[in-house]
């Protein structure tokens, strides 16, 4: 691997009392016209959640910097200590695109796509997880708190525990954890469970994920459990509990309230021909998001005459994702064909029913889209949480708007006042879309008022604080 100068203050890794471990560092590389390189903090909830606690504790973040076959020395960026973990091009292909996203991702999302099981992908996953554990062990000071993030790093807790039994280790899974019948397809099922049991606290988005984990630990590893506690083989007590992740509610609400955002929202509606009702979908382009069924339902409503073409519009933002993985390239082609067919069959000049945007946009533009939309359509086939639903609620400036939400999104457990729908039932989805559009202002206001309160009181800071407070209560490692 070749070395790279991050053009930031390179320094030997200092130890830290709080360490976040994630597949990616919270920065993106920026290359300037003069050839110099800089780093920009990535947008996203995790950075927002961890930044205050990292600054209080001189924390460190361990993760890959995003370029293969390149070594980057530890460096500081905007006051945060960053510890890059290198990956080769073959490891990106086998550990990340392969095992993480073609084995674990579909398996954990109810096998919507068939997972693939390849031994060489598993071998790469083990090697990379060990590299992350080694880097973390080197940077964590005695008795530090380490918080490992997500499905790419499920072996790290146990690997780290073996090297550093003094550490207090938490793990959080951002995606669903599957039921026994699906999980047991995994050839390396016991190794993953044992890896997670290296943590003192294992967090899941919803209680069902925690219960699935506890059930598997009992059945496969014969570990004793009581309520949300597991008696590990080394005598430790491991806690498995749900911690629904959230957003920077106040920050997003403030952005949505800005006059410039209001002006942009009005401009968006004008550009769409001032529809009476604007429907909006915002997703990564992923087969778990239910995009095809959603757009098909909307197209049928116009074709049936239930919606008037001159009165409605649907904007679908589909952020590019994992475009080197076959299933994602196929989905992009399927989306292009479906949108083209619907617009060609029922649209007319100047009035396409669907505006499809295969791109990513800054927070300011997303806040304007949320403000502009009358009906937000969030219909994943399976989702750990889905923060888009919460973002829409946070951006409403009054108790208006309607959220159509899949029963199979983790957010449905909290946003119970949404118009809940089974995304596999296209006729049912059509009914819910019309209901959300036609419901009385009073009913919409009642629903939105409760959801806004929920999102305001349970924001990203509440999520991080609750998890870390519980981790602080974890038992020290048994002698």
Q: Which residues neighbour 105 within 8 Å (Cβ) at sequence distance 6 or greater?
A: 115, 151, 175
Tokens of 392: 């829409």
Burial of 478 (0-12, 13-18, 19+ CB in 10 A): exposed
109 catalytically annotated: no
- Give 469: exposed, middle or buried? Use CB within 10 Å, 0-12, 13-18, 19+: exposed
Residue with tokens 């960026």: 77
- Whether 383 is a known active-site residue: answer yes
Which among 174, 200, 248, 286 is annotated as catalytic? Answer: 174
- Select which of 109, 383, 458, 459 is catalytic: 383
Tell me which residues are annotated as active site.
Answer: 174, 383
């Amino acid at each position: 691997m070749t070395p790279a100068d991050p053009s930031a203050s390179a320094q030997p890794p200092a130890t830290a009392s709080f360490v976040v471990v994630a597949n990616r560092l919270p920065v993106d590389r920026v290359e300037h016209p003069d050839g110099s390189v800089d780093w920009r903090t990535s947008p996203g909830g995790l950075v927002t959640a961890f930044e205050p606690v990292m600054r209080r504790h001189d924390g460190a973040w361990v993760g890959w910097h995003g370029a293969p076959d390149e070594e980057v020395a530890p460096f500081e960026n905007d006051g945060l200590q960053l510890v890059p973990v290198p990956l080769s091009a073959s490891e990106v292909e086998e550990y990340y695109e392969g095992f993480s996203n073609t084995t674990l991702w579909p398996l954990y999302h109810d096998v919507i796509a068939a997972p693939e099981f390849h031994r060489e992908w598993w071998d790469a996953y083990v090697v990379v997880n060990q590299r992350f554990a080694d880097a973390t062990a080197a940077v964590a000071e005695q008795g530090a708190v380490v918080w490992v993030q997500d499905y790419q790093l499920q072996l790290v807790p146990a690997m780290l525990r073996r090297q550093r039994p003094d550490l207090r280790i938490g793990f959080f899974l951002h995606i669903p954890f599957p039921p026994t019948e699906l999980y047991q397809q995994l050839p390396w099922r016991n190794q993953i469970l044992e890896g997670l049991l290296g943590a003192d606290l294992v967090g899941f988005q919803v209680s069902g994920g925690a219960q699935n984990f506890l059930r598997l630990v009992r059945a496969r590893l014969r570990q004793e459990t009581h309520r949300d506690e597991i008696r590990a083989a080394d005598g430790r007590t491991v806690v498995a509990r749900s911690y629904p992740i959230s957003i920077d509610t106040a920050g997003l609400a403030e952005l949505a309230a800005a006059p410039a955002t209001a002006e942009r929202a009005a401009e968006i509606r004008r550009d769409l021909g001032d529809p009476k009702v604007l429907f909006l979908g915002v997703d990564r382009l992923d087969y778990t998001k239910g995009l095809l069924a959603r757009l098909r339902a909307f197209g049928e409503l116009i074709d049936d005459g239930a919606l008037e073409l001159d009165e409605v519009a649907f904007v679908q933002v589909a952020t590019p994702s994992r475009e080197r993985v076959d299933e994602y390239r196929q989905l992009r082609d399927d989306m292009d064909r479906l949108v083209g067919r619907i617009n060609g069959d029922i649209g007319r000049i100047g009035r396409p029913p669907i505006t499809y945007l295969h791109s990513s946009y800054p927070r300011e533009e997303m806040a304007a889209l949320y403000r502009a939309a009358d009906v937000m359509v969030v219909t994943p086939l399976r989702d750990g949480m889905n923060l888009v639903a919460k973002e829409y609620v946070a951006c409403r400036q009054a108790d208006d708007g309607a959220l159509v939400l899949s029963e199979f999104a983790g957010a449905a457990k909290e946003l119970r006042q949404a118009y809940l729908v089974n995304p596999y039932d296209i006729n049912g989805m059509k009914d819910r879309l019309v209901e959300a559009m036609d419901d009385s202002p009073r009913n919409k206001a009642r629903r939105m008022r409760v959801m806004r309160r929920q999102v305001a009181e349970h924001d990203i800071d509440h999520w991080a604080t609750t998890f870390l407070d519980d981790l602080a209560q974890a038992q020290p490692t048994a002698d």
